[in-house]
Amino acid sequence: MSHEGWHTGARIGSSTGDGRMLAYQDSGVEAECVFRAGESTLFNIMSTGYGSDTTERGFAVWSARPGALGAIDPGVTRLDVTDADGVVVQAEIVAHTFAVDVDLGPAPRTIDEVFAPWEPPELTVRVYCENDALRYEGPLLTR
């Protein structure tokens, strides 16, 4: 696989070397890179992209736990997430991607945990466009 045409997107991570980063290819291919301290990097490559529509809300979540990563519309300038205690976390925005390090519960560790029922916490997202105009306010994750 060639590195030509690939671009880094938003990233969340820790000082231990664990973390996740989004990447996209000029052809429309999108990927999530999972960094694990002391282990090989995992690449989740979606050859036709994640297929998440950002038209209605201005964003789409591609991956959750820990944190949330995804795509934003070109006109989005800021994305903030507020937890139940009122703490606001501003997302990192890189190109057409975002990453926000919010507590969504523990990351699944086994294949059974990946597919087990999960109730996401209630988090409010606010999506802003030019001139700090509010474009969308509502739940970060939908069921």
Residue 42 pLDDT level (bands cut at 50, 70, 90): confident
Burial bucket for residue 61 (CB in 10 Å: 0-12, 13-18, 19+): buried
The residue type of 118 is W
pLDDT at 30 over 90: no
Residue 23 pLDDT level (bands cut at 50, 70, 90): confident
Q: What is the pLDDT of residue 53?
A: 80
pLDDT digits (tens, 9 = 90+) for 52-88: 788 889 998 888 877 899 999 989 999 999 987 899 9
Farthest-apart Cα atoms in the chain, separation? 45
Q: What is the pLDDT of residue 103?
A: 80
pLDDT at 51 over 80: no
pTM of the predicted model as reported, rounded to 2 decimal places: 0.83
Element (H, E) at 113: helix 111-115
Q: What is the pLDDT of residue 90?
A: 95
Under 8 Å between Cβ of 136 and 58: yes
Q: What is the pLDDT of residue 118?
A: 76
Q: What is the pLDDT of residue 15?
A: 65
